[in-house]
């Protein structure tokens, strides 16, 4: 190198989707700084939606142009088939989440005001609003895009933080039940920081072992470096903690119910769909690429984590009395089902089928989740959204259409045939069986059966109980919310009845596996 610093070569075209999102986020900050208050929201919404749509178009364009076979940006970012598929998924989920976020009444007028104070009254009265939400969401989405595509551990860490920090903030901005919301934000921040520390420490240990933070080089070192196994296992384990925390795998799931419950529901929708997709992408890349040669060692450990996650998610969900906490535990259980696919490694063909199963599952689950949370935003009483399950009794008699749609989402979560959830589970479990993880699949099926109980219980509650006299009313949805619910319902039907195109797309995205 002779002491000179060479300018890095960066394939801007490949990174364009991310750059568009980050660029729009920065423009959003400038809008906050310079545009007058009354104009901001009118600028933010089109800016956000257009940038997400543009990034999606660029992703599709990339995919059509052909998938590159080498990592980009000097090996820091890998834009490969799975990454493009995940980007597309995240961008669609982010787009619909933003349509929910845009709906009025979810966010606090002045976050700094003490809950219940005169200051807050004043802010509400004057119609103040936190339009910073939009650039924050865009930064989070940018982080979500970078996280699963990052090809070295430091970039992954940066992406993790870029994704998480805005979310910590957004969690605390709920308009109602503000103390709960702020508590959720603090908890999420503290635990997130804690787990990031694990991730970083793991990175350091692995660097100590392999002499590199590049995933491919770490993998190469697995066969050549001897006598440093403790460093390797501790490092890999800590890295795993950081990643498993983000997907909410047991025993790192504790934050999920509290945070999902406290956050503004549209933000919960974004976290439950987008963050999960991004974290799974990153988890797969780290474990399959960086530690791919080590799968004999990590797969028993992940077996344990998967079983624990499925059991904890399914069993704990049974006694939940709050719809958002129930959905949080359901999300934990689904994370466990997805982990079943992660351990189904083996030959290249097996990897492809497992990967494509996971990708399809992520799409199906993400869309249905956004839809379910969108329904939650619409069932309200005097105190805001009615979360307690007893308030949902008899909803089917008051608003049959909404209850039917929600019931349909629940059936999709349960994996009933002719819904998208069925094919997600089918694809993942089938891959796991052919990968030799049959016992895991049996646990998965049993956990699904347990999970089906609490999904169906809500359906029974909605349709076969008498409504409470002062029960919540269903607000007329704004056009955005109605579109989100409609889109999610349609996608859940289409993916359940005619899944071929998306299955095919997932399969061809998974065909090349991850670049190294």
Partner 1 sequence: MEPASHVASIIAHSGGAIGVAWLMIAFPLIGAAALLLGGRASDKYGHLLGVLMAVASFVVAALAFFQVLGFQPGERRRGVPLYDFIPGIAKVGLLVDPLSISFCLLITFVGSLIHIYSIGYMSHDPARRRFFAYLNLFVAAMLLLVLADNYVGLFVGWEGVGLASYLLIGFWQHKPSAATAAKKAFIVNRVGDFGLLIGIFTIFATFHSLAFADVFSAAGGASSGTLTAIGLLLLVGACGKSAQLPLQSWLLDAMEGPTPVSALIHAATMVTAGVYLIVRSGPIFQGAEAAQLVVTIVGVATLLAGAIIGTAKDDIKKALAGSTMSQIGYMVLAAGIGPAGYAFAIAHLITHGFFKADLFLGAGSVMHGMNDEVNMRKYGGLRKVMPITFVTFLIGYLAIIGFPLLSGYFTKDGIIEVAMEHNAILGWLAVLGAGITGFYMSRLVFMTFFGARRWEPTAHPHESPAVMTWPLIILSIGALGLGAFLIIGNRFMTFLAPAVGAPEELPSFNPFTATGLVTLALVAIGVAFAWFRYGAAEVPAVAPRGSFLTTFARRDLYGDALNEALFMRPGQWLTRLAVFFDNRGIDGLVNGLAAFIGGSSGRMRRIQTGFVRSYALSIFVGAALLAGAWLVVGNL
Site residues for partner 1 per CB under 8 A: 186-187, 190-191, 194-195, 198, 229-230, 232-234, 236-238, 240-241, 244-245, 250-252, 254-255, 257-258, 294, 297-298, 300-301, 304-305, 312, 315-319, 417, 426, 450, 497
Chain centroid to CA 446: how far?
24
Minimum CB separation from partner 1 for residue 65, in Å? 29
CB of 198 to partner 1, least distance (A): 6
Least distance between partner 1 and beta carbon 60 (Å): 26
Pick the closer one to partner 1 by CB: 11 or 295: 295
What are φ and ψ of residue 92, in 5° steps?
A: -65, -45
Q: Which of 298, 328, 324 is nearest to 312 (CA)?
A: 328
User: Using an 8 Å Cβ cutoff, are 291 and 96 in contact?
Assistant: no
Supply the angle between the helices 479-497 and 400-414 in degrees, to the nearest 10: 40
- Please, what's the b/e burial string for 226-257 (b: 16 or more CB within 10 A of its CB; e: otherwise)? eeeeebbbbbbebbbbbbbbbbbbbebbebbb
Q: How far apart are CA 498 and CA 516, in angstroms?
A: 33
Cα Rg for the chain, rounded, in angstroms? 22
The structure tokens listed for 150 are 């990052």
Q: CA 370 → CA 374, 456, 489, distances in Å?
A: 6, 19, 10
CB neighbour class for 94 (10 Å; exposed up to 12, middle 13-18, buried from 19): buried
To partner 1, the closest distance from the beta carbon of 479 in angstroms equals 25
- What is the biggest distance separating any 2 CA atoms in the chain, rounded to whole angstroms? 80
CB of 364 to partner 1, least distance (A): 15
Give the nearer residue to partner 1 in terms of CB position, either 42 or 490.
490
For the bound state, the minimum distance from the C-beta of residue 3 to partner 1, rounded and expressed in Å, comes to 39
Q: Which two tokens stand for residue 6?
A: 């060479």
DSSP string, 405-470: HHHHHHHHHHT-TTSHHHHHHHHHHHHHHHTT-HHHHHHHHHHHHHHHHHHHHHHHHHHHSPPPTT
* 249 vs 338 by CB, closer to partner 1: 249
Q: How far is the CB of 334 from partner 1 (least distance, A)?
A: 17
Q: Which is nearer to partner 1, 477 or 499 (CB)?
A: 499
In the bound state with partner 1, the residue whose beta carbon lies nearer, of 244 and 378, is 244
What's the min distance (Å) between Cβ of 413 and partner 1?
18
With a CB cutoff of 8 Å and minimum separation 6, the contacts of 60 are 88
Q: Which is nearer to partner 1, 141 or 343 (CB)?
A: 343
φ, ψ of residue 380 to 5 degrees: the values are: -130, 155
User: What is the closest distance, in whole angstroms, from the C-beta atom of residue 86 to partner 1 in the complex?
Assistant: 25
Nearer to partner 1, 95 or 287 (CB): 287
Peptide bond into 214 cis (omega under 30): no
Q: Specify the residue, 189 or 409, whose C-beta has the smaller distance to partner 1.
A: 189
Q: Pick the closer one to partner 1 by CB: 197 or 348.
A: 197
Q: Least distance in Å: CB of 255 to partner 1? A: 6
Q: What's the distance, Cα to Cα, between the start and end of the chain in Å?
A: 24
In the bound state with partner 1, the residue whose beta carbon lies nearer, of 187 and 398, is: 187
């Amino acid at each position: 190198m002779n002491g000179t610093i060479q300018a890095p070569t960066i394939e801007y075209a490949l990174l364009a989707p991310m750059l568009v999102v980050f660029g729009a986020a920065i423009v959003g900050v400038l809008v906050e700084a310079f545009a007058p208050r009354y104009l901001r929201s009118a600028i933010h919404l089109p800016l956000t939606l257009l940038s997400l749509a543009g990034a999606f178009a660029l992703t599709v364009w990339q995919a059509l142009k052909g998938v590159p076979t080498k990592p980009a940006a000097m090996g820091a970012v890998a834009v490969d088939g799975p990454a493009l598929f995940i980007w597309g998924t995240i961008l669609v989920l982010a787009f619909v989440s933003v349509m929910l976020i845009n709906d009025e009444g979810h966010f606090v007028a002045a976050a700094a005001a003490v809950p219940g104070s005169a200051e807050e009254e004043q802010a509400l009265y004057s119609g103040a609003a936190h339009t910073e939400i939009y650039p924050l969401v865009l930064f989070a989405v940018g982080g979500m895009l970078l996280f699963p595509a990052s090809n070295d551990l430091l970039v992954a860490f940066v992406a993790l933080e870029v994704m998480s920090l805005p979310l910590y903030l957004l969690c605390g901005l709920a308009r109602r039940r503000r103390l709960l919301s702020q508590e959720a934000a603090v908890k999420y921040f503290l635990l997130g920081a804690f787990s990031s520390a694990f991730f970083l420490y793991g990175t350091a240990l692995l660097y100590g072992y392999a002499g590199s933070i590049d995933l491919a080089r770490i993998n190469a070192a697995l066969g050549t470096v001897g006598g440093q196994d403790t460093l390797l296992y501790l490092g890999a384990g800590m890295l795993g903690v950081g990643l498993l925390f983000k997907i909410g795998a047991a025993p790192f799931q504790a934050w999920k119910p509290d945070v999902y419950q406290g956050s503004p529901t549209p933000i919960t929708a974004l976290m439950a769909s987008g963050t999960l997709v991004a974290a799974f992408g990153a988890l797969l890349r780290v474990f399959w690429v960086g530690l791919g040669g080590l799968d004999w060692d990590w797969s028993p450990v992940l077996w344990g984590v998967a079983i624990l996650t499925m059991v904890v998610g399914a069993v704990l969900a049974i006694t939940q009395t709050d719809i958002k906490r129930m959905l949080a535990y359901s999300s934990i259980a689904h994370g466990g089902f997805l982990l079943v696919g992660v351990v189904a490694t083996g030959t290249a063909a097996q990897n492809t089928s497992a990967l494509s199963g996971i990708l399809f599952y992520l799409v199906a689950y993400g869309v249905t989740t956004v839809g379910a949370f969108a329904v939650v935003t619409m069932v309200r009483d005097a105190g805001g959204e009615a979360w307690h399950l007893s308030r949902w009794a008899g909803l089917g008699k008051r608003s049959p259409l909404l209850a039917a749609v929600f019931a349909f989402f629940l059936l999709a979560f349960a994996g009933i045939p002719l819904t998208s959830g069925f094919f997600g589970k089918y694809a993942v479990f089938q891959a796991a069986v052919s990968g030799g993880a049959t016992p895991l699949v049996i646990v998965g099926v049993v956990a699904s059966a347990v999970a089906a109980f609490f999904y169906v219980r809500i359906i029974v509650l909605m349709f076969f109980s008498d409504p409470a006299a002062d029960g919540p009313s269903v607000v007329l949805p704004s056009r955005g919310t109605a579109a989100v619910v409609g889109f999610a319902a349609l996608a859940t039907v289409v993916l359940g009845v005619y899944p071929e195109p998306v299955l095919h797309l997932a399969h061809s995205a998974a065909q090349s596996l991850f670049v190294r």
